[in-house]
Amino acid sequence: MKQALEGVRVLDFSQLLQGPYATQMMGDLGADVIKVERNGSGDIFRKMTFFNQWIAGDESPCFMAWNRNKRSLAINIKSEEGKKIIYKLVEEADVVVENFRPGVMARLGYGYEDLKKINPGIIYCSASGWGDDGPYLTRPGQDLLVQSVSGALMTSGKKSDGPVAIGTALCDQVNALNSVYAILAALYYREKTGKGQEIKTNLLSSAIAFQMQDYFTIQNLGRTFERPESKIGHPGNGAPFGTYQTKDGYLTIAMSPWPTLVEALGDPSLMRYNDLQVLFDERDKIHGIIEKITLTKTTDEWLEIMLGLDLWVAKVNDQKDVEKDPQVVHNQTFVDIEHPKAGKVKVTNIPFKMSETPGQIKRPSPMIGEHGAEILEEIGYDAETIDKLLSENVISIEKIK
């Protein structure tokens, strides 16, 4: 079966999380993504991990998570020979993605103005932390730093907690999604008109756009969100919306008609709170009252009672239990693939179905420069020249130990 982005070639100069996630999404739908890595050492994310632990000796789960469906070319892009190779690849490329600090690519001869001379139809997407210019231009644009400036740290948890970091790379990942959104729109436009263009995304704008509803409320209603002191699930919502401890775990109750919830909880006296304003104003107190009752039964017992009354409830999973959740199993959310060094690894599947052009995981994350020789062959280099480029350290190919 065909894939939606078959025939699209992406030249990917990005590293760490944001750019690699964006290009992985294109690879998942069939684009040929050539990951241009630093000669020898590769993407610096290969040297970062969690808990100071590694897979198969020295492979990073962080790197592996965001680099499937790509081919790797490890190359010294500052060398003359390296530049010749990159320029040659640009001729056949549709999309370039990079996430260096603004200006770095241009200084190396790979800015949009340089590359569009070679290929006027190129779609060139740069991602920065803060924007392509402005007062924070030279500041580090790491995810948690951008979360901090974007206001996102004041949206979760309790008010008395102070800032609460969102435990995923929120800004990197949302900007990756926005980058793909812009790139695919540009590809569509190029099909219609033949015209390429430059796209500039940044983590800060993506992080704020992700809080669009909050900002719309704050700026147009003139009222700031104050986080609750209880486990009410959103600063703008009243009880019962939130999470509740049970006898053996946690239960989430979303928007649910109060009288029905009172019926489920079995304490008719709670009808005294049956007023939207009271449920908002006294949410912390009401949360506590509800939780005293939810503590008396297990999560499954509450699910049975409450789902039976059409209340909006769910259990709270620990991350380690998610792969066993019946719906997750049904959805085939996790699949095994083979990695040349780590053997069988489990990866998260493409999160949607396309009837005509399904996403596919065809390749694990590459070794450093693994596909260097085949990529150079494709653009006309012979075996002898490739050996020479290897021995001169213009390109490198990692050997599996």
Confirm or reject binding of residue 117 to a copy of itself (CB under 8 A): no
Tokens 């206001």 map to which residue? Answer: 151
Q: Which is nearer to a copy of itself, 320 or 399 (CB)?
A: 320
Q: Output the six-digit token pair for 370.
A: 């693994």
Q: Which residues in 189-208 contact a copy of itself (CB under 8 A)?
A: 189, 191-193, 195-202, 204-206, 208
Confirm or reject binding of residue 284 to a copy of itself (CB under 8 A): no
Picking from 69, 70, 48, the residue whose alpha carbon sits closest to that of residue 60 is 48
- What's the closest the beta carbon of residue 215 comes to a copy of itself, in angstroms? 5
Catalytic site includes residue 172: yes
Confirm or reject binding of residue 221 to a copy of itself (CB under 8 A): yes
Tokens 């959805």 map to which residue? Answer: 331
Tokens 């894939």 map to which residue? Answer: 3
Confirm or reject binding of residue 146 to a copy of itself (CB under 8 A): yes
Strands 250-253 and 242-245: antiparallel
Cα–Cα distance for residue pair 31/282, rounded to 1 Å? 53
Confirm or reject binding of residue 234 to a copy of itself (CB under 8 A): yes
Selected from 57, 160, 269, 355, the binder of a copy of itself by CB under 8 A is 355
Cα–Cα distance for residue pair 263/261, rounded to 1 Å? 5
Selected from 9, 81, 118, 215, the binder of a copy of itself by CB under 8 A is 215
Selected from 11, 93, 186, 262, the binder of a copy of itself by CB under 8 A is 186
Cα–Cα distance for residue pair 84/330, rounded to 1 Å? 49
> Cβ distance 11 to 5 under 8 Å?
no
The CA-based angle 208-113-38, given to 5 degrees, is 75
Selected from 57, 135, 308, 380, the binder of a copy of itself by CB under 8 A is 135
- What's the closest the beta carbon of residue 76 comes to a copy of itself, in angstroms? 25
Confirm or reject binding of residue 346 to a copy of itself (CB under 8 A): yes
Confirm or reject binding of residue 103 to a copy of itself (CB under 8 A): no
Q: Which is nearer to a copy of itself, 305 or 328 (CB)?
A: 328
Q: Which is nearer to a copy of itself, 87 or 181 (CB)?
A: 181
Q: 10 Å Cβ neighbour count for 279?
A: 18
Confirm or reject binding of residue 10 to a copy of itself (CB under 8 A): no
Q: Which is nearer to a copy of itself, 51 or 384 (CB)?
A: 51
Confirm or reject binding of residue 360 to a copy of itself (CB under 8 A): no
Cα–Cα distance for residue pair 221/212, rounded to 1 Å? 13
Q: Which is nearer to a copy of itself, 104 or 218 (CB)?
A: 218
Q: Which residues in 62-91 contact a copy of itself (CB under 8 A)?
A: 62, 64-66
How far, CA to CA in Å, does 147 sit from each of 19, 48, 174, 228, 242?
A: 17, 20, 11, 20, 23
How far, CA to CA in Å, does 227 sit from each of 234, 273, 287?
A: 7, 21, 14
What is the per-residue burial (b if ≥16 Cβ within 10 Å, else e) of 34-53?
Answer: bbbbbbeebbebbeebeeee
Confirm or reject binding of residue 236 to a copy of itself (CB under 8 A): yes
Tokens 């200084």 map to which residue? Answer: 107
Q: Which residues in 22-61 contact a copy of itself (CB under 8 A)?
A: 25, 29, 50-53, 55, 61
Q: Output the six-digit token pair for 67.
A: 């680099």
Q: Which residues in 311-330 contact a copy of itself (CB under 8 A)?
A: 312-323, 325-328, 330
Q: Which is nearer to a copy of itself, 51 or 269 (CB)?
A: 51
* Catalytic-labelled residue, pool 12, 172, 281, 321: 172
Confirm or reject binding of residue 237 to a copy of itself (CB under 8 A): yes
> Cβ distance 266 to 293 under 8 Å?
yes
Q: Which is nearer to a copy of itself, 76 or 206 (CB)?
A: 206
Confirm or reject binding of residue 400 to a copy of itself (CB under 8 A): no
Only one of the segments 34-42, 81-89, 154-162, 260-268 lies at the binding site for a copy of itself (rule: CB under 8 A); that segment is 154-162
Which residues are within 8 A (CB) of 327 and not within 5 positions of it... i.e. 6 or more apart? none
Which residues form the catalytic set?
172
